[in-house]
Amino acid sequence: MKTGQEKIIILGGGGHSRVLIDLIRTSGKYEIAGILDLLLEQGIKVLGISVLGKDDLLPEFYKRGIKNVCIGVGSIKDNNNRKKIYEKVKQIGFHVPFLIHPKAIISGDTEISEGVQVMAGATIQTGCVIGENTIINTGAIVEHDCSVGRDVHICPGSVISGECTVSDGVFVGAGATAIQGIKIGKGVLVGAGAVVIRDVPDNVKVVGVPAKIVNGE
């Protein structure tokens, strides 16, 4: 442990958690105290980090003085589970720090909210606002003056062009693209590889090139 490092608990021990372990170790800001996972057996290790038990131990660790948590549970198509976990740990009192990989490129005037995770190779350009508990995943690009809501997942290799609005709870699949100035409504699922060329209403799924709604109007 380096001098001045605070301890952090990771919730979840799957693939997304392993990516976060690498991010945290590379950044050097936090010491990982352990992992809590509902399914993994206590005592096993994930990349050398011990599983300490299940999520019901959170209040105990908070009382012991560990005040930082990161959400190591990813999302596939649906961000609601991450949202519920985030709300749970905030209710206990935990701080959920934003985590940025040293190899991400982020403009100095970008607003990064609590709980945001920006992975290696991601780029966020000038004038952007990124909401709470959002993932900007490996190699994703968010161009200038974009507003990205809370509980969003922008998957690896996706491109959000300049002046777009990505509303709360949106899932942008791997390799998808939104052209300049597009507004994507709340809870939208953008399929992998889709190209969004017009605004998308709330709570629909769009797929294809160009992207079209497949579950309602």
Catalytic machinery residues: 144
Cα atoms in the Cβ-side hemisphere of radius 13 Å centred on 35: 26
Query: Taking a C-beta distance cutoff of 8 angstroms, is the pair 69, 94 a contact?
Result: yes
Distance CA 137, CA 154 (A): 6
Query: Taking a C-beta distance cutoff of 8 angstroms, is the pair 105, 88 a contact?
Result: no
Q: Which amino acid is at 108?
A: G
Distance CA 178, CA 58 (A): 38
CA angle 169-29-157, nearest 5°? 40
Count of C-beta atoms within a 10 Å radius of residue 168? 20
